[in-house]
Chain A
Amino acid sequence: MPAERVPLLDADDEALLRLSRQRQLALSLEEMRAIQRHYRSLGREPTDVELETFAQTWSEHCVHKTFRGVIEYEGEVIRSLLRSTIARVTEELSPDWCFSVFEDNAGIVDFEGDYAIAFKVETHNHPSAIEPFGGAATGVGGVIRDILGVWGEPIANTDVLCFGPLDYPYERLPQGIKHPRFIFTHVVAGIGSYGNNMGIPTVNGAVLFDESYVGNPLVYCGTLGLVKKSCYMRSATPGDVLLLVGGRTGRDGIHGVTFASTELEEDAEEAFGTAVQIGDPIEEEKIKRAILQVRDERLGSAITDLGGGGLSSAVGEQAHRFGCGARVHLERVPLKYAGMKPWEIWVSESQERMLLIVPRRNLERVLEIFREEEVEASEIGELIPERVLRVYYGSEKVAEIDMDFLFGGLPEVRRKAEWAPPPLEEPEFEPPEPGEALLRVLSMPNVASKEEVIRTYDHEVKAQTVLKPLQGCFSGPGDAAVLKPLRHSWRGVAVSCGINPEYGKIDPYWMAASAIDEAVRNNLAVGGSRIALLDNFCWGSPEKPRNLGALVRAAKACYDIARAYGTPFISGKDSLYNESPMGSVTPTLLISAVGILEDVRRAVSMDFKERGASVYVLGMSRRELGGSQYYRMLGFLGRSVPRVVPQEARRTFRGVEEGIRRGLIRACHDVSEGGVGVALAEMCFSGGVGAEVELSRMPAESMRVDELLFSESNSRFIVEVARGMEEEFEELLRGCGAVFARLGVTGGRELVVRYEGREVVSLELERLRESWQSGVRV
């Protein structure tokens, strides 16, 4: 099965583009020309293996050329959006507790002693659109391997899912697009299957619905891992062995990265059917055991997962990282079946494979460990001193690529970005009865209970989940999960997220600001502190200036807000071609947050705990209902998107942090979708304890009662303060300079809301809970 020479030297522009398209390379004309120039200078035609190597290594998926390229925006020339916004936050803050940021498969922060926490979030959108179960399952499998790829032990999964409305009319579905309910059911099943089988608890996440996801669902998969810093091996040298471990290589997953870097078209299933991989969690479970053993015995010199681009990316990137080259023998790769071409072996993204780099003296022992776990391990080559990638198939050399060109020859991408505020107006309407409105908002799909989803995920395996996704004796919606990953220590990890695409329809800047604020306040609400962030952008094509303008605005907010909050970004990923025949997805930024608790026994859940305790609101409420669930329920979008006032927010955050540390706060819930009304209702029915509150006491701009109830202003919390602790708590908040008010007391079987003494809501807990539970059915 020899390699093919691809005639490139004499091709004209049209032929170059045709070649890129026919071979699914997803390379632009500029890029094809650069390759052509390079081979003209060598005086030979490239092989198919070589051409594929460029397509993989230069894909948007692997090199993030938009984020690293040049963007012209409103007269400004941005060189590397990544470096000038997101990475800049971390650089300027440069916290000494960040162990590894942006350079590995996952971001890593200190935890306790030798232990550190790794966190990574990935997306697997296009595969999930075509084959929802397999696409989602392998999304989970892939991000778990990212953690193994930093010698981490996976300890928890997170997942955030965005689908079209479950009641979307079938007749409106375009050709080739699966119904949102089908995608939803199978994505959830795929995620549960992989995590449950591997014994990794799924502890945090969200499920959102929007019309723009009908043609292109979003599947964000995250994994946290425990890293031992003393066993973190990253120092390979020439002569070290390239060891391919895990499952066999097949045709599944060919062109996954170029598929990810293309828009979804009607015939995507046919054209890219092979791009979706097939998952086998038990295989990955065995690999995990073997890798952790190799780690504990410190036998490796480097490791990476085989993800996008397969061997071609993994080998190239590792050799590049250690300033050397590599020699690879493709005939040594164990195959699922005969008949694969060299280039297919080279780029296949078959699942459950990892690349270990091992000093030759340790090879025997490493092979023995893999034998013990019944995992195949094959020596496929070695690192070499010359900066060249030499790939053989038997005696035939099928590729010889200059590493400097491979990693330095990509033409700079230059794109135009523009943004103008959409022509939106604030709606005028007769407000519905507040109690009725509250029940309806509670059953909005984005607010309603996701219990039926959450319970299909094992969230307690490993016996480390101290605060679970469902909290209180009546399974309320937790703000964040808390894990206690070490047997010998009470120290904990808080995992949370923030996401709100509705706001992005108004202004992506405030959407990003709000997502950061939400992720941070969710983390603080359970007792997390020293918070680090991850960003995951899912956008439509960046070749459309409007999409790119939205991206620039969101990235700028990431810098402004994270910098002000002192929360560094440690890892991130972008997925920029979320397009279908129905258009671009709503720009969607997921912010994930990981915080530390000194002692998990101080963690706070969101359910009201006892009768007769004081209920407080923290933070300023503004007339910010644009993009709110209340407006959405009434059929409006509005314009008054919630903003963030970092100085004000930080004072509130300090109050919450300190209040929890001192044990003054018994329950804490962030105010997000559905505003204060929903937050209060959730705290009541989760704990089985009612409350009576007076809305006119809320620190707020002047507004109507329904606006007070449902405004989604950022940086706010509702807290329950233990009886007798009120004075100390208020003293603390005043000391922090926080804005707050005591709204009322807990007790009874109802939520009673008054405005200037007049009862505006009076609803039994059971009715509130029923509405909340009726919204989303699996």
Chain B
Amino acid sequence: MSPRILVLRGPGTNCDAETVHALRELGAEPELVHVRRLVRTRALEAFEGLVIPGGFSYGDRIRSGAVLARMLSHALGRELQRFVDEGKPVLGICNGFQVLVETGVLPFGQVGEPALALMKNASARFEARWVHLLRCSDSELLGELPEVSEMPVANAEGRVVLPPGRAQEVLDELLQNSQVALRYCTPSGEPAEGRYPANPSGSFWDIAGLTTPNGRVLGMMPHPERAFSAYLHPCWTSGRGTEHGRVLLQGFVRCAGRA
């Protein structure tokens, strides 16, 4: 059975078309829904999966993803919490990751106050480039993603920052639960250790993607939908194209199919 997946959009969401396309290619039934309509219909529970795509929701006013996150946690907080509690898969890509962090759903699965932040890149600018990612979790959402994979990032605020003073404590907890799903690394799979450009944002502990403790909610800065075909890889003309984004999304769709 093909799972129904809600692809959420608001004003400024702009990676929805390619995300919908990718999910459909993988056999899912994606439905693109404006957040205002979702607030009206409250139809979240009719879906087996939720994807929040990239973009600049509400112009990233206040902080990236903050306004869309408030719409979700205030007007749809209970529905969202239930969705997460039931273990239905949720994926936030780029701005979607920022939204999930702002709702509090990431990293600890609780709608409420954010427990960490995605701040302006250390380079202080928007940056689009392909990166290598180290898989650090066996979360089903990552599917058959190999240990080292390639996908592009494109953001200005992708630097994971943990609460000052408690950073080590929070990191330990994340590591204990295998919540750090993806880290920026070198082509050979060594963690980037903060070094630019392998770690393009200066993200703490090279964090590129996080899950909830049960591994059912994944937020990531890289864009799997842009690594969906080998012909989107920067080196495909040398025969070195990969489709790691497709592999990851395949895992998500499979997970939703079982939800």
A648 in the interface (beta carbon within 8 A): no
Choose, from A46-54, A137-145, A460-468, A553-561, the stretch at the interface: A460-468
Contact of B14 among A456, A461, A475 (CB under 8 A): A461
Within 8 A of B (CB), among A192-222: 192, 196-199
Q: Is B237 a contact partner of A374 (Cβ separation < 8 A)?
A: no
| A197–B228 touching, CB < 8 Å | no
Cβ of B129 < 8 Å from any Cβ of A? yes
Residue numbers in B under 8 Å from A467 (CB-CB): 237
**Chain A facing B: main interface SS:** loop
Q: Could you mark each residue 82-95 of chain B with 1 if its beta carbon is under 8 Å from any beta carbon of chain A, else 0?
A: 00000000000000
Q: Does B117 contact A (CB under 8 A)?
A: no
Contact A458 B128 (CB under 8 A): yes
A609→B21 CA distance, assembly (Å): 32
Interface-facing stretch out of A431-439, A598-606, A750-758: A598-606
CB distance from A607 to the nearest CB of B (A): 7
A687 within 8 Å of B by Cβ? yes
Using an 8 Å CB-CB cutoff, how does the interface string of B15-30 with A read, 1 for contact, 0 for none? 1011001100000000
A426-478 contacts to B (CB < 8 Å): 455-468, 470-473, 475
| Residue A282, interface by CB 8 Å | yes
The B8-59 residues at the A interface (CB cut-off 8 A) are 11-12, 14-15, 17-18, 21-22, 34, 36, 54-56, 58-59
Interface check A285, CB cutoff 8 A:
yes
Interface residues on B, range: 35 or more
A484 near B: Cβ within 8 Å? yes
> How far apart are the CA atoms of A181 and B235 in the complex, in Å?
33
Interface digits, B209-252 against A, CB 8 Å rule (1 contact, 0 not)?
00000000000000101101101101111101000000000000
Q: Nearest Cβ in chain A — how far from B2, in angstroms? A: 18
Q: Would A473 and B11 count as touching, CB distance under 8 A?
A: no
Query: Given B11, B129, B154, which contacts A461 in the complex, CB threshold below 8 Å?
Result: B154
Q: Is A286 an interface residue (CB 8 A)?
A: yes
Most buried by A among B54, B152, B223: B152
Give the contacts of A457-515 with B (CB-CB under 8 A). 457-468, 470-473, 475, 484, 487
B125 interfacial contact with A, CB 8 Å: yes
**Residue from A199, A457, A687 within 8 A of B128 (CB atoms):** A457
Look across to chain B and name the residue whose beta carbon is closest to the beta carbon of A666.
B237
User: A603 and B237: CB pair below 8 A?
Assistant: yes
Is the beta-carbon distance between A463 and B18 smaller than 8 angstroms?
yes
Is there contact, CB below 8 Å, between B14 and A600?
no
Q: Is the CB of A601 within 8 A of B128?
A: no
Chain A 606-636 interface 0/1 with B at a Cβ cutoff of 8 Å (1 = within): 0101000000000000000000000000000
- Cβ-defined contact, A196 with B235, below 8 A: no
Cβ-defined contact, B238 with A456, below 8 A: no
Contacts A199-B55, A374-B11, A463-B226; is A600 near B237 (CB within 8 Å)?
no
The distance in angstroms between the C-alpha atoms of A470 and B56, with both chains bound, is 24
Q: Flag if A282 contacts B59 (CB, 8 Å).
A: yes
Tell which of B12, B55, B59, B240 touches A473, judged by Cβ atoms closer than 8 Å.
B240
Tell me if A281 is interfacial: C-beta within 8 Å of chain B.
yes
Q: How far is the CA of A459 from the CA of B130 in the complex (A)?
A: 11
Contacts A199-B55, A455-B129; A461 near B234 (Cβ below 8 A): no
Residues of A within 8 A of B152 (CB): 460
A230 CB to closest chain B CB (Å) equals: 20
Q: B234 and A601: CB pair below 8 A?
A: no
Determine how close the nearest CB of chain B comes to the CB of A469; give it in whole angstroms: 10
Check if A466 sits within 8 Å of B127, measured CB to CB. Answer: no
Residues in B whose Cβ lies below 8 Å from that of A464: 18
Find out whether the CB atom of B58 lies under 8 angstroms from the CB atom of A604.
no
Interchain nearest-CB distance for A754 vs B (Å)? 27
CB pair B11 A459 closer than 8 Å? no
Nearest A-chain residue to B238, judged by Cβ: A609
Indicate which residue in B34, B223, B237, B240 contacts A471 across the interface (CB closer than 8 Å).
B237
Task: Compute the total of residue contacts between A and B using a CB distance below 8 Å.
Answer: 99
Quick check: B17 and A462 within 8 Å, CB to CB? yes
Q: Which residues of B contact A778 (CB under 8 A)?
A: 125
Q: 1/0 per residue A371-383: CB within 8 Å of B?
A: 0111000000000
A456 near B59 with CB under 8 A, answer no
A484 to B226 CA separation, bound complex (whole angstroms): 13
- B235 contact set on A, CB distance < 8 A: 472-473
With a cutoff of 8 Å between Cβ atoms, the chain A residues found around residue B15 in the complex are 199, 461-462
CB distance from A158 to the nearest CB of B (A): 16
What residues of A have a CB within 8 angstroms of the CB of B232 in the complex?
460, 463, 465-466
Q: In the docked arrangement, what's the CA distance between A609 and B235, Å? A: 10
Tell me how far the C-beta of B4 lies from the nearest C-beta in chain A, rounded to whole angstroms.
20
Task: Closest A residue to B54 by CB, please name it.
Answer: A461
Report A579-611 CB contacts with B as 1/0, cut-off 8 Å. 000000000000000000000110111010100
Contact present for B234 and A468 (CB under 8 Å): yes
> Nearest CB to that of B61 among chain A residues?
A282
- State whether B237 touches A285 (Cβ < 8 A): no
Residue of A nearest to B225 (CB): A463
Contact with B along A13-33 (1 / 0, CB 8 A): 000000000000000000000
Considering only residues 276-329 of chain A, those with a C-beta below 8 Å from chain B are 280-282, 285-286
CA distance A603 to B56 in the complex (A): 32
**A residues in contact with B56, CB < 8 Å:** 196-197, 199, 281-282
Q: Which of A199, A372, A457, A605 contacts B34 (CB 8 A)?
A: A372
A609-B237 in contact (CB<8A): yes
Question: CA–CA, A776 to B101, complex, Å?
Answer: 37
Interface centre among B36, B226, B237, B240 (most CB of A within 10 A): B237
**Among the listed B58, B125, B231, which residue makes an inter-chain contact with A600, where contact means beta carbons less than 8 Å apart?**
B231
Interface set of B (CB-CB < 8 Å, partner A): 11-12, 14-15, 17-18, 21-22, 34, 36, 54-56, 58-59, 125-129, 152, 154, 223, 225-226, 228-229, 231-232, 234-238, 240
A-B CB contact pairs (8 Å), 20 listed: A196-B56, A197-B56, A197-B59, A199-B55, A280-B59, A285-B11, A285-B14, A373-B34, A374-B11, A457-B126, A458-B154, A460-B232, A462-B17, A462-B18, A463-B223, A463-B228, A471-B237, A473-B240, A605-B237, A609-B238
Q: A460-B232, A484-B231, A604-B237 provided; 11 other pairs, C-beta below 8 A?
A: A197-B56, A199-B15, A199-B55, A281-B56, A373-B11, A457-B128, A460-B128, A463-B232, A465-B232, A472-B238, A667-B237
Seen from chain A, the residues whose Cβ lies within 8 Å of a Cβ on chain B are 192, 196-199, 280-282, 285-286, 372-374, 455-468, 470-473, 475, 484, 487, 600-601, 603-605, 607, 609, 667, 687, 778
What 7 A-B pairs are tightest by C-beta distance, nearest first? A199-B14, A463-B18, A282-B59, A605-B237, A282-B12, A458-B154, A473-B235
